[in-house]
Structure 1
Amino acid sequence: MPEQLFEENHYVLLMPGCPEEFVSAAELEVFLERLLQEYPDAADADIQQYDTPAKRAQRLIQTTCELPIAPGQMVEWYAVRLNKR
């Protein structure tokens, strides 16, 4: 596996009808676990092969940045770098 150039500690979370939200990596993982439980058929076969919600959420974070939850509706997340002041 290639070495990461930077660590992804924060994400911007975009949900239909909601303002953008900045979350930590841990918060994103918990959010995606719950989302996958609420929409069990939303993830593709690659994600479904993992046996726990936590492993599915981790795989989502590692491999994609969106999850369709309804026709024309996506939940999206993108790694961001936050400046400390």
Structure 2
Amino acid sequence: MVTEEMYVVLESTTSDETFLTPMELQAKLIEYLTGTEVSLSPDLLALPDVESRAQYLMTTGCELQLANGGYLQWYAVRLEK
């Protein structure tokens, strides 16, 4: 049996759950960090670039608060094939 690490992603703009690979989640976080207004904590601001910030969020958090009151949440899951 093979297991694959994925993320369940919930966005306040949709009511659907989406399964993303780690690379897809990182790309989505980069999209939100560069395309929308989010207030970043000092620990995120200390990181040198948006890729580092996205990776840090993936490993230490599970939610990104958006300026419009929305959110992006993600949870690690393992799928059995």
Please confirm whether the aligned pair reaches a TM-score higher than 0.5, indicating the same fold: yes
Stretches of 4+ aligned residues off by more than 6 angstroms: none
TM-score (norm 1): 0.80
2:8 pairs with 1:23: no
Q: Deviation of residue 48 (structure 1)?
A: 1.4
Alignment gaps of 5+ in structure 1: 1-7
Alignment gaps of 5+ in structure 2: none
Contact 2:38 2:65 in 1 (8 A): no
Q: Choose between structure 1 and 2: higher strand proportion.
A: 2
Identity across the alignment (%): 36
Aligned CA RMSD, in angstroms, stands at 1.9
TM-score (norm 2): 0.84
The structure, 1 or 2, with the larger RCO (C-alpha pairs under 8 Å, 6+ apart) is 2
